[in-house]
Amino acid sequence: MSKKPSATIEQKPTASSTSHSQAPINAALTQAQKIGLFSQMVRIRRFEERSHRAYTGKNAAGGANIGGFLHLYNGQEAIAVGCCSLMGKHDHVITAYRDHGHAIAVGMDTKALMAELYGKVTGCSKGKGGSMHFFSPERNYWGGHGIVGGQIPLGVGLAYGVKYKGHKGSAMAFMGDGAVNQGAVHEAYNLAALWNLPCIFVIENNGYSMGTSQARSSAGDLAKRAEGYGMAWGVCEGHDVYEVRATMDKFLNIAREECKPAVVEIRTYRYRGHSVADPDNTYRTKTEIEEYRRTKDPIQVFQTALIAEGVLSTESAEKIDEAARAEAEAAADFADASPYPTPEDIQKDVYWESDNPDQRTSQGRLFFN
């Protein structure tokens, strides 16, 4: 394992991002904000690379650092960063198990995220959720959900809550291209459209659900299914953070101003296997992965654009990358040094009432062992 992960951001992309840079929402960005978006994408990439190394490596005791699944976000960074950069006070986010990027994009501390992967008590869910279940309600981030499509009705509920409370806001409910075939998603579509709820359903279409390509799993166009519910829909490219922002801004404003839902399909690609431990050569070729990385890597695309705009230099990009690596390294050190929860912690955080015994109103036994 090399200390310096693969040189993804040193390659030259052929895809350009200039056409969307002039959209009002992007034209309004300051240089610092643009660099901020770039840094976040790099930080996600380096966090994921570092967590991958931790997953495949061993801890001091010779055991695994990280258990279970680890669904990495490499290749999809512009989506979470682009979408979450548009959040205001009453905009909410919920997603599936490929949730690290969104967590970083809403501003969660990478130390707490890495510690969660390590199952440590300092983790964002005290070691109780793991990779698939990151949450930060204070940042309007409602998870991190492991059942494909199961989070989508919750997203509609967040939009309902926003509307019920009279707030001008929205909920962005993220899912994969495989999730669109879950019944609960369609029930949620109908409810959001029927009740005019400000929910944007974001399909991160990375082409595959585990090892099944879109062509082998879905009939018809994914976002166009919105038409069946009388909902607006759109499609955009997910390698260009400017395009993601320009597209999402349009739908978010409709959601906030007119309380109308929409389905947005964002085309993207994942570089790693479905989960780290999964084989990655049975359903796609190395060439396919390399081709995307070479031509559409979202970080490289944005870096090239920012250099062309005179916002960024190669040296400052390098510095940002160095800092992101150092941050990921520090997160891993923090996670490594943190303690595990204790067996006594197992039965905490089950009931609000048992966690707040002074305010308990019920009686009787809550736990049975």
Partner 1 sequence: MSQLTYREAVRHALAEELTRDPNVVVMGEEVGQFQGAYKVTQGLLEKFGPKRVADTPISEAGFIGMGIGASMLGVRPVMELMFWSFYSVAFDQILNNAANVRYMSGGQINCPIVIRGPANGGTNVGATHSHTPENILAAHPGVKVVVPSTPYDAKGLLKSAIRDNDPVFFLENTVLYGEKGEVPDEEYLIPLGKADVKREGKDLTIVTYGRPVIQSLVAAELLAKEHDISVEVVDLRTIRPLDIDTVLASVRKTHRVLVVEEQKPFCGVGAQLTYMIQAEAFDDLDAPIGRLCTIDAPAIYSPPVEAEQLPNPQRILKAALALLD
Between 161 and 234, CB nearer to partner 1: 161
Reading the block at residue 138, the tokens are 């204070």
Residue among 238, 257, 247 at smallest CA distance from 88: 257
Contact flag: residue 198 with partner 1 (CB under 8 A) = no
Q: Which of 176, 198, 238, 298 binds Mg ion (CB under 5 A)?
A: 176
Phi–psi pair at 251, nearest 5 degrees: -70, -35
Contact flag: residue 349 with partner 1 (CB under 8 A) = yes
Residue among 198, 270, 205 at smallest CA distance from 236: 205
Residue 310: left (phi > 0), alpha (psi -120 to 50), or beta?
Answer: left
Between 202 and 262, CB nearer to ligand TPP: 202
Measured distance CA(208)–CA(186) in Å, rounded: 20
Minimum separation from the CB atom of position 128 to partner 1 (A): 5
Measured distance CA(27)–CA(30) in Å, rounded: 8
| DSSP letters spanning 281-293 | SSSS-HHHHHHHH
Between 308 and 350, CB nearer to partner 1: 350
Contact stretch for partner 1 (CB under 8 A) within 43-51, 272-280, 290-298, 341-349: 341-349
Go through the chain and tell me how many residues it has. Answer: 369
Q: In a 10 Å sphere around its CB, with 0-12 CB exposed, 13-18 middle and 19+ buried, how is residue 359 labelled?
A: exposed
Please state at what angle helix 183-194 crosses helix 151-164, rounded to 10 degrees.
20
How many CB atoms sit inside 10 A of residue 126's CB? 17
Between 105 and 179, CB nearer to ligand TPP: 179
Minimum separation from the CB atom of position 223 to Mg ion (A): 14
Q: How many Cα atoms within 13 Å fall on the side-chain side of residue 4?
A: 7
Between 132 and 241, CB nearer to ligand TPP: 132
Residues that bind ligand TPP (CB under 6 A): 98, 146-148, 175-179, 206, 208-210, 274
Contact flag: residue 28 with partner 1 (CB under 8 A) = no
Q: Which of 40, 74, 170, 206 binds Mg ion (CB under 5 A)?
A: 206
Query: From residue 79, how far is each of 107, 114, 174, 204 by CA, in Å?
Result: 15, 21, 10, 8
Contact flag: residue 68 with partner 1 (CB under 8 A) = no
Between 62 and 364, CB nearer to partner 1: 364
Q: Which of 118, 135, 251, 292 binds partner 1 (CB under 8 A)?
A: 135
Contacts with Mg ion: how many residues (CB under 5 A)? 4
Interface residue list for Mg ion (CB under 5 A): 176-177, 206, 209
Interface residue list for partner 1 (CB under 8 A): 92, 94, 123-129, 133, 135-138, 142-147, 150-158, 160-162, 164-165, 171, 183-184, 187-188, 190-191, 194-195, 347-353, 355-356, 361-368
